Amino acid sequence: MPVMQSAAAGAMPTLCAATAPDAHPAGFYGPSHLFGVRGPVKETRLAEFAYNEAPAKQLFDQLQEISGIRYPL
C-alpha cells in the first residue's frame, strides 16, 4: 500500500469543501486514514498550533512587512 495518494485523490478535500452541500463554512477537510495522509475525505480539525493566535498574528505582521502590503483589520 503506497503511503501517499494520487493527485486526483489529493484534490478531493478541496473539491468537497467547495462543492459539497453539507460542507461547513470554515470547515477543514482532509484524508481520513493513515494519520490524515490518505483515504476518503472527512471533516477534521486543524493541528493544535493553528489555533494559537499569537504566532498567527506574528506571522501575519511579518508577511505584511516583507510584502509591503498592509491590510486594515
Q: 5-63: per-residue pLDDT in tens? A: 888 988 999 999 999 999 998 889 988 888 878 889 999 888 888 889 999 899 999 99
- Residue with the bigger pLDDT between 4 and 67: it is 67
The C-alpha cell at 70 is 498592509
43 contact partners, CB below 8 Å, separation of at least 6: 23, 24, 27, 28, 29
* The predicted structure's pLDDT at residue 9: 87
Q: What's the pLDDT band for 4 if we cut at 50, 70, 90?
A: confident
Q: Take residue 37 and report the three cell numbers written for it.
A: 495522509
Residue 50, pLDDT score: 84
* CA pair distance 30, 41, nearest whole angstrom: 5
CA-to-CA dists, residue 15 to 10, 29, 59, angstroms: 10, 10, 28
Q: Which of 23, 26, 16 is nearest to 50 (CA)?
A: 26
